[in-house]
Amino acid sequence: MRTWLLITACVALVTACGPNAAPQAQPISLTPTPAQWQTPTPESATRPPTSTAAPPPALPAAPPTSAASGAPPVAPPLAAAQGLTATPAMPALTRPVAPAPTAAPPGSPVLTPTPDPPIACQFASSTVSLPARPQAISAAVSPTPSTVDWITFATGEPMPGVSLELRMPSISVVAGSMVAPIFIAHNASSQEVSVSNGVSVVRDSSDLARTPDPREFLSVPRTGPQGAYETRVPPGQTREVMSTAQLPFDASRVVRLRAAASLGVLPPNALFSSHVTSVQVDIPLEVIPATAVDELQLELKADAQQWCLRATDSRGAQPTGPLFVALTVRDAAGRTAMTSGLPSATGEAWAMRWTQLSSPSPLESGPATLTIWVGGPHYVTARAEATVAGPP
């Protein structure tokens, strides 16, 4: 029996004339007045953000995770990749076996695990050594220097003593890029509170039956026990967290961004929140056509031991701002695993050994197809694919 482990981590411009023309975006103020958070109605309530493709099949329940442990939860696998035909169900996940501990020096009671050796990646221009398990970025204490000048698009006090802001650098966005606003929660109450947040692009009914663009960033739905993805805000403190959504590649579309959050009170020694309050707000965006400057270049190298990826801008330089990565691996038996949120130690290069993704390796049964998406607020989402032969 196989055990799969997921590691928790260009533009078509359409114009038309006449009464049947596609709706055109109207000029939008670049410094809008902040909107007030609204309580969603059953018809407009935002579900957890998902990909714009057809929804994936139901997921198996994740193993219980203590929300107070501080360890990042791991999303279980999906039975089939987005946009692919149905595939056989994958075996249930188990957590990896921890590396064998290394004996501590005499006189020290602490045992330290043996770290994985770095991964050597040979790219066209250089060889880069990347850590095997880079650390993911956690929720930041607000405000951070990079976001202090961002525009506030929504503000309010959803709960007594708890304020919530939504900030973005601009209301103008590039078609095909990813929008990545931040939610800033300030807790002036006497109790710890939790915040669960997400954003999605609201599409009109005529756009729901469209064929998804293969470049659309793969969105892996979050699953797990209640509270697994909450951000905890102690009394008197402030936290900011980011959410992402893929924007349409068609600049002629009228686009609204829906931001939603759920806030709850965390009683002392409680694992889960109570008295949850949900709010949301819709923000019109001004989508501008992408140019060659907005394109990413991906260099994907994969062999029987590992894969390496580097992203550069149109000039071959390191891209600006955050980049997000998602991937799928489809083995010779037709089974597909997917994951997202892979951290990068350098900001523009990623690497993983196949044994980190699953045990045994997905290449054991033969060739596997690796597909990777890279996106961010400043660039059109790019996609790279490679077929990797199994061991000889």
In a domain, 108, yes or no: no
CB atoms inside a 10 Å sphere around CB 304: 12
The Cα 368–Cα 138 span in angstroms is: 32
**For every one of its 392 residues, what pLDDT tens digit does the chain have, with 9 covering 90 and above?**
443 433 333 323 223 333 333 334 444 444 567 888 988 765 454 444 433 333 333 333 333 333 333 333 333 332 333 333 333 333 333 334 444 545 555 555 666 667 789 999 999 999 999 988 876 554 555 556 667 789 999 999 999 999 999 999 999 999 999 999 999 999 999 999 999 999 999 977 777 677 889 999 988 766 666 666 789 999 999 999 999 999 999 998 889 999 999 999 988 777 777 778 999 999 999 999 999 999 999 999 999 999 999 999 999 999 988 899 999 999 888 888 888 888 887 889 999 998 888 777 888 888 999 999 999 999 999 999 999 987 76
Outline where DSSP puts E strands in 203-289: 231-233, 238-242, 245-246, 255-266, 274-288
In a domain, 183, yes or no: yes
Q: In sequence order, which residues have a C-beta less than 8 Å from that of residue 14 and are 6 or more positions away?
A: 22, 250, 252
In a domain, 250, yes or no: yes
Look up residue 312 and give its amino acid. Answer: T
Six token digits for residue 13: 């411009």
The Cα 58–Cα 78 span in angstroms is: 8
- Which structural domain, as residue segments, surrounds residue 184? 137-288
Q: In sequence order, which residues have a C-beta less than 8 Å from that of residue 148 and are 6 or more positions away?
A: none
What pLDDT was estimated at residue 146?
62
The Cα 203–Cα 52 span in angstroms is: 9
Residue with tokens 């220097």: 145
The Cα 301–Cα 67 span in angstroms is: 37
The Cα 66–Cα 44 span in angstroms is: 32
Q: Residue 218 class from Cβ within 10 Å (0-12 exposed, 13-18 middle, 19+ buried)? A: buried
- Helices H / strands E in the chain, number of each: 1, 26
The Cα 195–Cα 209 span in angstroms is: 33
The Cα 87–Cα 93 span in angstroms is: 17
In a domain, 1, yes or no: no
- State the SS3 of 7-66: CCCCCCCCCCCCCCCCCCCCCCCCCCCCEECECCCCCCCCCCCCCCCCCCCCCCCCCCCC
Q: In what order do the strands lie in the sheet with 182-187?
A: 35-36, 151-159, 162-168, 182-187, 238-242, 140-141
The Cα 155–Cα 157 span in angstroms is: 7
In a domain, 357, yes or no: no
In a domain, 18, yes or no: no
Beta-bridge mates of residue 159: 162
In a domain, 37, yes or no: no
Q: Any idea what DSSP says for residue 207?
A: G
What pLDDT was estimated at residue 190?
93
What pLDDT was estimated at residue 141?
57
Look up residue 251 and give its amino acid. Answer: A
Counting every residue written for the chain, the total comes to 392
Indicate the number of domains in the chain.
Answer: 1
Cβ distance 246 to 178 under 8 Å? yes
Q: Which CATH number characterizes residue 202's domain?
A: 2.60.40.10
What pLDDT was estimated at residue 162?
95
In a domain, 322, yes or no: no
Cβ distance 128 to 121 under 8 Å? yes
Q: Give the H or E element holding residue 359.
A: strand 358-359
Q: In sequence order, which residues have a C-beta less than 8 Å from that of residue 17 and are 6 or more positions away?
A: none
Beta-bridge mates of residue 258: 200, 282
The Cα 199–Cα 261 span in angstroms is: 9
Widest Cα–Cα separation across the chain: 83
Cβ distance 192 to 233 under 8 Å? yes
End-to-end CA, the chain:
22
DSSP track, 69-99: S-PPP-PPPPSS-TTS---PPPPPP-PPPPP
